[in-house]
Amino acid sequence: MNRFCRLALVALIPAAAMSFGPSVALAQTSSPAPAASASPSPAPSASPSPAASAPAASASPAPAASPSPAASASPSPAAPPPAAAANPAPVQTADPFGLETTLEPKKVVMVKGTANWDSAFDTLVDAFKTLNALLDKQGIKHAGNSMIVYTSTDDTGFTFLAEIPVEQDPKNLTKDMSIGKSPEGKALKFVHRGSYDNMDNTYEAITNHLDDKKLEAKDTFIEEYLTDPLKTAEDKLVINVFVPLK
C-alpha cells in the first residue's frame, strides 16, 4: 500500500398509411358485363346502371374511411417525447468531493492501536472485532458507524483510535479502551469506494485538493465506515474521509 499520500496529507496540515382503392368496387361485375354485352345491348346497359350506382355509394365511404386525418394527427403527439426525454439529464451519480460539513461529537467507546502499513486493514478489523465483542457481551447496540481516527503516521505505520458510537457506557474496559467523544467541528468530506489498499488514490486527491484550495487542516483525519468492515468484502467498502479544518 502506498503510505506516502497519507504522509503528505499530514505534512500539509503543519477529488402506413393504408389506402383502400375504389378499383375494387369498379371491378365487381365489369368483367362479366362484356360477356353479356355480346347479344343484348339494351339489357347490359340497364344492369350496369344500378351496378354503377352501387360503386358510387361504395366509393364515397372509401374516402370517408381514409386514414389520412389519423395519419396527420399522429405527427403532433410524436414531437413531445424528445422534450420529455431531455428532462432527466441533470441526474448526478458522482459523490461530492471536498464537501464542507460540521462534525457533531458523539459518545464513543474506543481502543488505541498501532499498525504497520503492510497489515493496516487487518489491524483495524481486529480493533473493531475487539470493540464489538465487548458491546455484544453487554448487549449494547451501535449508535452510529464505526470510525478510525488517525493520530499520527510515519514511514512504517501509524497510530489510531478505533471508535464505535454508543448511547450507554460499557463496563469492564481493558487498559487500551476508554469512553470519550468523537471529533467535532468544521471538516471537508470525501468519499472512497473500493478496497482499503486503494485508498492511496483518494488521499492523493485529497492532498491535491487542499493544496489547490490553500486550506489548512488539523493534524488528524477520520475514516467513517458506511459499510461494516467485518461483513463487507474489502473491494466493496464505502468510507467517508473527514479532514478537520483549522
DSSP code string of 70-130: HHHHTHHHHSHHHHHHHTTTT---SPPSSEEEEEPP-EEEEEEEEEEGGGHHHHHHHHHHH
pLDDT at 117 over 60: yes
Distance of CA 128 to the CA centre of its chain: 29
Q: What are phi and psi of 39, to 5 degrees?
A: -100, -70
User: pLDDT band at 11, cuts 50/70/90?
Assistant: low
Which of these, 193, 200, 191, 196, lies nearest to 243 by C-alpha position?
Answer: 191
Higher-confidence position of 239 and 18: 239
- Summarised one tens digit per residue, pLDDT across range 67-82 is 444 444 445 555 555 5
pLDDT value at residue 96: 84
pLDDT digits (tens, 9 = 90+) for 176-206: 999 999 999 999 999 999 999 999 999 999 9
As given in the structure block, the three cell numbers for residue 57 are: 355509394
Is residue 183 classed exposed, middle or buried when 0-12, 13-18 and 19+ CB atoms within 10 A define those classes?
buried
pLDDT confidence band for 219 (50 / 70 / 90): confident
Band (pLDDT 50/70/90 cuts) for residue 15 is very low
CA separation for the pair 228, 221 (Å, rounded): 19
191's enclosing H/E stretch is strand 185-193
User: C-alpha 51: how far from its chain's center?
Assistant: 71
Q: What is the mean pLDDT of residues 46-55?
A: 41
Q: What is the pLDDT of residue 77?
A: 52
Give the mean pLDDT of 95-103.
93
Question: So what's the pLDDT on residue 80?
Answer: 55
Summarize the confidence of residues 60-70 as an average pLDDT. Answer: 46
Closest by CA position to 5, among listed 211, 203, 228: 203
- Percent of the residues in the chain that have a pLDDT greater than 70, as a whole number: 62
Under the banding of pLDDT at 50, 70 and 90, the label for residue 63 is very low
> 207, 200 in Cβ contact below 8 A?
no
Buried b (16+ CB within 10 A) or exposed e, 186-222: ebbbbbbeeebeebbebbbbbbebbeeeeeebeebbb
* Pairing outcome for strands 177-181 and 107-116: antiparallel
Which of these, 27, 23, 6, lies nearest to 152 by C-alpha position? 6
pLDDT digits (tens, 9 = 90+) for 125-173: 999 999 999 999 999 999 999 999 999 999 999 999 999 999 999 999 9
